[in-house]
Amino acid sequence: MTTSYKELAGQLGAKLKEFKQEIPETMQGFNQMGKATHDDGALSAKTKELIAMAIGISARCQGCLAFHAQACVKMGVTRAEFEEMLQVAVYMGGGPSLMTAAEALAAYEEFGGEKAA
């Protein structure tokens, strides 16, 4: 794999900052939606982040892989938890999600997530 997810997150983050200046209402609405969905509730914030990553895998969104892998590592998602999420994503998305799941694991590891024993 040739993608650096840290570089991708940095590049996309810079563009998103531009959006805050150029389309502030859209970004404010999107950010509010994110805040409203990521607090602990019936589901933990960690579970919600794993769901977001699974959706990013099924949508084959490289930027999503970068941002959600980084968030998973910051939230203390273990490799076992991450791999169980990958199983569900692959089950729901088939072969294309299997390829993207491998990329998601690479992103998780790049941001400091546990590596295989």
Q: What is the model's pTM?
A: 0.90
pLDDT tens-digit series, residues 63-113: 999 999 999 999 999 999 999 999 999 999 999 999 999 999 999 999 999
Q: Which two tokens stand for residue 105?
A: 């694991």
> What is the homologous superfamily of the domain 5-110 according to CATH?
AhpD-like (1.20.1290.10)
Cα end-to-end span (Å), the chain = 20
- 3-state SS, the chain, equals CCCCHHHHHHHHHHHHHHHHHHCHHHHHHHHHHHHHHCCCCCCCHHHHHHHHHHHHHHHCCHHHHHHHHHHHHHCCCCHHHHHHHHHHHHHHHHHHHHHHHHHHHHHHHHCCCCCCC
With beta carbons less than 8 A apart as the criterion, state whether 65 and 57 touch. yes
Query: Which residues, 6+ apart, have CB-to-CB distance to 55 below 8 Å?
Result: 64
Model confidence band, residue 6 (pLDDT cutoffs 50, 70, 90) = very high
Give the start-to-end residue ranges of the domains of the chain: 5-110
| C-beta atoms surrounding 99 within 10 Å | 14
